[in-house]
A and B are shown apart, each in its own frame.
Chain A
Amino acid sequence: MAKDTLFSTLKQNQGMLFTLLVFILLPFVVGLFNGASPAQVWLNESGHSKFIQGLAIEIFILALYALSYDLIFGFTGLLSFGHSMFFAVGAYLTGILLKSFGFSLAATFGMLFLAGIVQALLFGMVLPRVKGITFALVTLGMASVFHVLVISTELGEYTGSDVGLQGVVVPAFISPASERLRLYFVTLTILILVFLLYKRFVNSPTGRVCTAIRENEGRALMLGYNTFFFKLAALMLSSLTAALAGGLHTIYQPIVSPNVAGLGYTVTALLIILIGGVGTLNGALVGAVVFRLLDYGLRRYIGESASFINGAIYVAIVLFLPYGIVGTWKLKSMNLRQGWDRLLGMLNTASKEK
């Protein structure tokens, strides 16, 4: 019996498990294609595999960031234009604590946790006052103030002002240079854990209320839910995740550019989940993969006018994949499944008539 349930859960999640397997094997397979044995890859010797690992790490970090945005925008319905602040605070705090204050990695992530909570409270403070597009603008304002702080010359000693934060010494055991494979698996594990946590959260009673708030806040209020606390909970989880993603970003990237604090980086998150499908957790992952690969491929093969093609592709996605990749796929597969059911039903009745 226990075996059966295990089997059925495996079968239900076969897509997920398959993806997981692909990502675990990816560094080694890429190595094999370039004539590097898995052992060499294991010892961080294969150049090409290392490059692919780096790209994958970026995708994982983007996916974490997109997940955190999907939680507040896709599931709770809060349109925030200041989301990049969550990420940038994580990135800068990690860098500054490691570089200028000599914190250990554990202590740094402890501080990240605190910073995440503080930011969520900051955004939460304005929640009862402003709604909808006004909330988006107020959060944009807060993020812009942080952006200005980051690029101001007065704090240049710590932040590197508009050049960006560089020279962060990352502890050797997860250094992106010498131990990239380990960093790869660490970020992958974090992503999986966060994804599972999110899945749990979304399907929990709290998560359901969040979805109800997105659909109709008035009704959720009338049913007796204090929507403020649910929104705050979603914000909290989201800000912690984004700060974590920011921290990983600093560990992986040699320079933290001040652009991650700007409006453009929030738009990146929005684009990713729109590509993947708003309000679907898988969508954030798929969107991150598509977004990063598209950006990389276009810049590599087309160069200067990449953002022209990029823009055209976004417009095409909006017009032809109205619910994002995952959303449209779900609709289509639902149609397919209904078709199958109908076909099976017809066969059943036909066989009975015999």
Chain B
Amino acid sequence: MNVFIRKNLLRLIILIVLAGLFVAAAAGMESQDFLITLLRGLSVGSLTFLVASGFSLIFGLLDVLNLAHGTLFMIGAYIGWTVYVRSDTFMDLLTPLALILSGFLLRDVWSLLSTRLPAAGRMKRILPWAGILVSGLILFSVLRNYPIAIWDVGDYAQSPVSISYLASQGQNVQPPPATFETISPLMAFAGLIAGSLLLAFSLSLFGAGKQAEASRITWRSFTGFAAFLLAGIIFFIFNNLFTAFLAGLNTNWLFLIAVLVAVGSGAGLGALMETTLIRPLYIRPIYQLMLTLGLSAIGIEMVRAVWGRPEFTMPRPELFAGTGEGCPATSLAGWWQYHCSTMMLMDGRIRVFNEIFIPIIGVVVLVAVWILLQRSRLGMIIRAGVQDREMVEALGINVRRVFTQVFALGVGLAALGGVLAAPSIGLSNMMGESFLLNALIALAIGGLTSYPGAALGSLLVGLLQQFIIKYGQIGIAIPFTEIVFKPSPPIVPASIILLMVVVLLILPNGLLGKKE
């Protein structure tokens, strides 16, 4: 015990000082103010944690500083919004997406074909690029004419802002479904499948020659392809049925679907990013910074092009949206009965979704990922790989696959944060950047590659921010003087950065980080 104290003296002193500050901050305000501030801090902390934990897992195992993480957080929010508010658009998108992806599931066939390809020399180098070009043209020309019922950024009445506003008023009017006009469905299908097959084959040509021997083709190689094709066709035929079903669904379930879709697409995007763009750059770490920065810029621009620049909100699910009779609720039971958006707790008015639901999800994710890390084989490999990747590989473990999985997991967590943040703080193009900065600071405070550190750092960042904001309203009475100091808004980000600098100067590896 003594040894433990001596070894961690600085750490303990910092934690005690922070706890003291926390108590002092609590003593300085009314109890209901304190409660609200505490819950808001927990809420911001949870969202920060969802970004930070994924970032830290990726950095720890892959040594990649994924500066696009904030952008992926934002994309998660926008995807969630689309599913939740415009389920018709979402259904329309499913068919082409399934068809485009289907070709990539014939991986075994492609690897066999690419080894048997007779072309040599220059032809071999041109072929993949030509294939990508042709398939790109095919996909582009089909998708341009493919009917998708979508909002219109240029027309204010049809823009996401108006649609969100109407939806929050309970008027989720969906426009008539789009129909095929310029091309026939059959042609569109054929084009999409052909484009997908060609694209997948061309991309597989880049990696040809790396495998020792091509795997054999069995009927299994075709199941994924067939399943996606079938799914695409089913989504197409029953499009209206599904759309009507989703539109009629209780918003709680719809929100759950939105969350799942956002997390799933986040994980998919992450896996795609890792396998195609990040993988060639493991030997050139600095260039990953530039790559992820560039991807972040691209992502923000794409979101701007599709969803527009203005900020808008996402209506809360019905469970958290009640305002009528019995609201604000006075107890959890009352909330459950009337589905109130707010409830009274110690005379303070609390928004249930923001200040209770989000922290709960934060804790659930914290525990779930902790269990994954400590109990599963994947977690064991991650913990080992953070320390020594080469040795893990030398044990015969396919580290690349684990890299992809971890990247997908990290981005999926960020997307979860995004879709949870959407109903609480709204959607904007820059929401990702501020959370990424928060997360970076939280990780620096807690320890860059430490999972508990990510949680502690996020908590500190969230609490400190919210307390400073609150004190910006009520002011800090400086003892023995008449002065009431009111922190101005720019001090909020500065305060957490200051905390980070102080912690790093005393403990260069963060509060819970290990020595290198």
Q: Do A and B come from one complex?
A: yes
Which A positions have Cβ atoms within 8 angstroms of B?
A: 126, 129-131, 133-134, 137-138, 140-142, 144-145, 148, 151-154, 263, 267, 270-271, 274, 278, 304-305, 307-308, 310-315, 317-319, 322
| Known interface pairs A129-B505, A305-B301, A319-B280; A144-B497 also in contact (CB < 8 Å) | yes
A131-B508, A133-B65, A137-B500 known; A307-B287 Cβ under 8 A: no
| A318–B287 touching, CB < 8 Å | yes
Contact yes or no, A152 B440, CB < 8 A: no
Smallest CB separation, A325 vs chain B (Å): 13
Give the chain A neighbours of B304 by CB distance below 8 A: 304-305
Q: Which of A137, A142, A274 contacts B287 (CB 8 A)?
A: A274
User: Of all chain A residues, which has the CB nearest B443?
Assistant: A137
In the complex formed, the residue of B with least CB distance to A141 is: B501
Q: State A312–B295 Cα separation when bound (angstroms).
A: 7
Asked if B504 is at the interface (CB within 8 A of a chain A CB), the reply is yes
Closest residue of A by beta carbon distance from B284: A322
Task: Verify B290–A314 contact, CB threshold 8 A.
Answer: yes
Contacts of A142 in B (CB 8 A): 501
B301 & A152 in contact (Cβ 8 Å cutoff): no
Please judge, given known A-B contacts A148-B494, A305-B304, whether A311 and B296 are in contact too, CB under 8 Å.
yes
Q: Give Cα A60–Cα B297 distance, bound, in whole angstroms.
A: 25
| A144 and B277 contact, CB distance less than 8 A | no
Nearest chain A CB to B162 CB, angstrom units: 21
> What is the bound-complex CA distance between A318 and B448, given in angstroms?
25
The verdict on A267 contacting B493 (CB below 8 Å), with A137-B500, A152-B488, A311-B298 known, is no
The verdict on B384 contacting chain A, using a C-beta distance below 8 Å, is: no
Interface contact B287-A315, CB-CB below 8 Å = no
Measured in the bound complex, the distance between the Cα atoms of B283 and A268 in whole Å is: 23
Contact of B286 (CB < 8 Å), options: A274, A307, A315, A319:
A274
Asked if residues A315 and B291 are in contact (CB atoms below 8 Å), the reply is yes
State which of B284, B286, B295, B497 has its C-beta within 8 Å of the C-beta of A141: B497
User: What 5 pairs between A and B have smallest CB-CB spacing?
Assistant: A311-B297, A308-B301, A314-B294, A141-B501, A311-B298
Verify B295–A315 contact, CB threshold 8 A.
Answer: yes
Specify which chain A residues have a CB less than 8 angstroms from the CB of B505 in the assembled complex: 126, 129-130, 138
Nearest residue, chain A, Cβ from B440: A137
The main secondary structure of chain A at its interface with chain B is helix
Give, as a whole number of angstroms, the nearest-CB distance from B305 to chain A. Answer: 6
In the complex, the answer to whether B287 meets A322 with C-beta atoms within 8 Å is yes
Q: Which residues of B contact A318 (CB under 8 A)?
A: 281, 287, 290-291, 294
Instruction: Please name 12 pairs of A and B residues whose Cβ atoms are closer than 8 Å in the assembled complex, sorted by A.
Output: A126-B505, A130-B505, A134-B509, A138-B501, A141-B500, A144-B497, A145-B501, A148-B491, A152-B491, A312-B298, A318-B290, A319-B291
- Residues of A near B488 (CB, < 8 A) are 152-154
B135 CB to nearest chain A CB (Å)? 19
Judge whether B504 and A145 touch: CB under 8 Å: no
Q: Which residues of B contact A319 (CB under 8 A)?
A: 277, 280-281, 291
A319-B206 Cα distance, complex, nearest whole Å: 14
Contact indicator A307/B501 (Cβ below 8 Å): no
**Chain B 297-324 against A: per-residue CB contact (8 Å), 1 yes, 0 no?**
1101110110000000000000000000
Residues of A within 8 A of B284 (CB): 322
Assess whether B493 is in contact with A148, with CB atoms less than 8 Å apart.
Answer: yes
Which residue from chain A places its CB closest to the CB of B294 in the assembled complex?
A: A314
Q: Does B494 lie within 8 Å of A129, measured CB to CB?
A: no
Taking the closest CB of chain A, its distance from the CB of B126, in whole angstroms, is 16
Count, chain B residues at interface, CB 8 A: 39
For chain B residues 405-457, which have a beta carbon within 8 Å of chain A? Answer: 437, 440-441, 444, 448
Contact in complex: B305, A312 (CB < 8 Å):
no
Q: Is B490 an interface residue (CB 8 A)?
A: yes
Question: 16 other contacts beyond A148-B490, A322-B287, with CB at 8 A cut-off?
Answer: A130-B508, A133-B65, A134-B444, A138-B501, A141-B504, A144-B494, A270-B290, A271-B290, A278-B286, A305-B304, A308-B298, A310-B294, A311-B301, A315-B291, A318-B281, A322-B284
- A314 touching B293, Cβ below 8 Å: yes
Once the chains are docked, how many angstroms separate the CA of A308 from the CA of B490?
29
How far is it, in angstroms, between the C-alpha of A134 and the C-alpha of B444 when the chains are bound? 7
Chain B interface, >50% SS class: helix
For residue B290, which residues in chain A have a CB less than 8 angstroms away from its CB?
A: 270-271, 274, 314, 317-318
Task: Chain A residues near B296: list those with CB within 8 A.
Answer: 311
Cα A317 to Cα B437 with chains together (Å): 26
**CB pair B508 A312 closer than 8 Å:** no
A145 touches B498 (CB 8 A): yes
The answer to whether residues A315 and B294 also contact, given A144-B493, A145-B494 and a CB cut-off of 8 A, is yes
Measured in the bound complex, the distance between the Cα atoms of B493 and A18 in whole Å is 48
B493–A130 CB distance below 8 A: no
Do residues B508 and A152 form an inter-chain contact, with CB atoms below 8 A? no
Given A274-B286, A312-B294, A315-B295, decide whether A307 and B301 contact each other with a Cβ distance below 8 A. Answer: yes
Are A314 and B297 interface neighbours, CB within 8 A? yes
Q: Is B289 an interface residue (CB 8 A)?
A: yes
Contacts of B501 in A (CB 8 A): 138, 141-142, 145
- In the bound complex, what is the Cα–Cα distance between A286 and B70 (angstroms)? 31
Interface residue ranges of B446-495 to A (CB < 8 Å): 448, 488, 490-491, 493-494
Closest to A315 in B: B294
In the bound complex, CA of A157 to CA of B287 (Å): 41
- In the complex, are the beta carbons of A270 and B508 less than 8 A apart? no
CA distance in complex: A310, B296 (Å): 11
Q: Which residues of B contact A152 (CB under 8 A)?
A: 488, 490-491
User: How far apart are the CA atoms of A133 and B504 in the complex, in Å?
Assistant: 11
Q: How far is the CB of A287 from chain B (nearest CB, A)?
A: 11
- Please report the C-alpha to C-alpha distance between residue A290 and residue B121 in the assembled complex, in whole angstroms: 34
Decide: A137 near B277, CB < 8 A? Known: A152-B488, A305-B305, A311-B294: no
Chain B residues contacting A271 (CB-CB under 8 Å) are 290, 293
In the bound assembly, the distance between CA atoms of A126 and B291 in angstroms comes to 29
Whole-angstrom distance between the Cβ of A119 and the nearest chain B Cβ: 15
- Bound complex: CA of A256 vs CA of B444, how far in Å? 31
Cα distance A138–B503 in the bound complex, in angstroms: 10
**A225 vs B242: C-alpha distance in the bound complex, in angstroms?**
71
* Residue ID in chain A nearest B301 by CB atoms: A308
Q: Give the shortest distance, in Å, between A143 (CB) and chain B (any CB).
A: 9
Proximity bits, B260-287, A CB within 8 Å = 1, else 0? 0000000000000000010011001011
The answer to whether B298 touches A315 (Cβ under 8 A) is yes
Contact of B497 among A140, A313, A315 (CB under 8 A): A140
Question: Within B152-170, which residues are at the interface with A (CB < 8 Å)?
Answer: none
- Which one of A144, A263, A267, A305 has the highest number of Cβ atoms from chain B below 10 Å of its Cβ? A144
Instruction: Please name all residues of chain A whose beta carbon is closer than 8 Å to the beta carbon of B301 when the two chains form the complex.
Output: 305, 307-308, 311
B509's nearest neighbour on chain A, judged by CB, is A134
**Which of A137, A140, A305, A313 has its CB near the most chain B CB atoms (within 10 A)?**
A137
Report how far A130 CA is from B513 CA in the complex, Å: 13
B508→A134 contact, CB < 8 A: yes
Shortest Cβ distance from residue A278 to the other chain B in the assembled complex, whole angstroms: 7
Q: How far apart are the CA atoms of A263 and B67 in the complex, in Å?
A: 13
User: In the complex the two chains form, is B509's CB within 8 Å of A267's CB?
Assistant: no
B residues less than 8 Å from A315 (CB atoms): 277, 291, 294-295, 298
A121, chain B: closest CB distance, angstroms: 15
Give A140 to B445 CA distance when docked, in angstroms: 13
